[in-house]
């Protein structure tokens, strides 16, 4: 649950960094790459301790896709529009599914029958 809450904050920070790229102190590209690596690590930690792993699988996949986009942007020029939407959607999806995973706890009977 703690990893999901931290991952929610990472997603909100990514959303903020996408909308206000000059407000953060470091480069948005470098910060988004560090956030993607953190998102991957937190999603793996949350999968191990979570009640339902599918939300963390989405966050993990989201982190891998964002890291791929950030590495591709370091190698070749990627459109600023694609960078904006890639970082924004990565942050929004990460925040939503991580908060869902942190708050959702299935009933004990539902886990036994399903």
Instruction: Give the pLDDT of residue 105.
Output: 73
113, pLDDT greater than 90:
no
25, pLDDT greater than 80:
no
Residue range 59-70: average pLDDT?
A: 95
Number of H helices, E strands in the chain: 5, 0
Structural element, H or E, at residue 41: helix 28-49
Instruction: Give the pLDDT of residue 38.
Output: 95
Q: Is the dihedral of CA 73, 62, 28, 83 positive or negative?
A: positive
Higher pLDDT: 79 or 29? It is 79
User: What number of other Cβ atoms are within 10 A of residue 105's Cβ?
Assistant: 12
Domains of the chain: which residue ranges? 2-104
Higher pLDDT: 22 or 74? It is 74
- Residues of the chain with pLDDT > 90, as a percent, come to 59
Distances (CA, A) of 28 to 24, 34, 87: 7, 10, 9
**Tell me: the pLDDT tens digits for 78-92?**
998 999 999 999 999
> What gap in Å lies between CA 98 and CA 79, rounded to an integer?
28
5, pLDDT greater than 80:
yes
Instruction: Give the pLDDT of residue 111.
Output: 56
101, pLDDT greater than 60:
yes
Residue 13 contacts residue 35 (beta carbons within 8 Å): yes
């Amino acid at each position: 649950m703690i990893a999901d809450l931290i991952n929610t904050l990472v997603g909100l920070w990514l959303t903020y960094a996408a909308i206000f790229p000059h407000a953060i102190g470091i480069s948005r590209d470098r910060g988004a790459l560090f956030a993607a690596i953190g998102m991957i690590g937190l999603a793996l930690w949350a999968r191990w301790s979570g009640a339902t792993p599918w939300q963390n699988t989405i966050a993990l996949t989201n982190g891998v896709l964002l890291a791929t986009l950030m590495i591709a942007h370091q190698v070749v020029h990627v459109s600023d529009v694609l960078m904006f939407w890639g970082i924004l959607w990565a942050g929004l999806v990460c925040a939503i599914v991580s908060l869902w995973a942190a708050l959702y706890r299935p009933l004990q009977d539902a886990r036994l029958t399903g």
